[in-house]
Amino acid sequence: MTAEQEAKREQLEEALSAAGKTLLPDGESQGYVFTLVDGVTVLITRKWRNPKGGYKVAALRTYPEVGDPTSLDAAVRAGELFERQDPDRTRNYGHRGPRVNYMDWRCGDPDCPCSSEPDLQRRMERSIGYRVRMF
């Protein structure tokens, strides 16, 4: 975890504390820090564009990153947002299961497309919500 990611982790912990929630560490992979909020994987990214950015809720298909809610707001509300989304199997991003394993970037739900995607880069893209470049 970089010093910048540590600061983002602290920012998220403060926001969660204000909401009466806790942050659980879960691991690191490919430069991303995996955490759990309400049983849902929240990634702390390698870089960000705004002061309340730098978080990805891996299981979510999409949510705004700028404005309201920010990715910090989405991270704090990860459980609620995951429960409200449509479990469409054909979506390109997000997962059917709430928790993404940092070892293989799969959610463990046999009905999720990630379970049959052999390519790590594609599973990362599914979790992050856009195309990624491997190290």
Check residue 78 and give left, alpha or beta (phi > 0: left; psi -120 to 50: alpha): alpha
Task: Report yes or no on 133 lying in a domain.
Answer: no
Task: Report yes or no on 42 lying in a domain.
Answer: yes
In tens, the pLDDT along 80-90 reads 988 888 766 66
Question: According to the 3-state scheme, what is the secondary structure of the chain?
Answer: CCHHHHHHHHHHHHHHHHCCCCCEEEEEECCEEEEEECCEEEEECCCCCCCCCCEEECCCCCCCCCCCCCHHHHHHCHHHHHHHCCCCCCCCCCCCCCCCCCCCCCCCCCCCHHHHCCCHHHHHHHHHCCCCCCC
Task: Report yes or no on 19 lying in a domain.
Answer: yes
- On the question of pLDDT at 64 being above 60, the answer is no
Task: Report yes or no on 26 lying in a domain.
Answer: yes
- On the question of pLDDT at 56 being above 80, the answer is yes
Q: Token pair for residue 101?
A: 């394993």
Task: Report yes or no on 82 lying in a domain.
Answer: yes
Task: Report yes or no on 135 lying in a domain.
Answer: no
**Confidence tier at 23 by pLDDT (50, 70, 90):** very high
Confidence at residue 134, expressed as pLDDT on a 0 to 100 scale: 60
Domain count, the chain: 1
For residue 7, the one-letter residue type is A
Confidence at residue 133, expressed as pLDDT on a 0 to 100 scale: 65
Q: Domain containing 80: what range?
A: 3-128
Confidence at residue 5, expressed as pLDDT on a 0 to 100 scale: 92
Task: Report yes or no on 70 lying in a domain.
Answer: yes
**Confidence tier at 1 by pLDDT (50, 70, 90):** confident
Q: Are the C-beta atoms of 129 and 56 separated by less than 8 Å?
A: yes
- On the question of pLDDT at 67 being above 60, the answer is no
- Model-level pTM greater than 0.75? yes
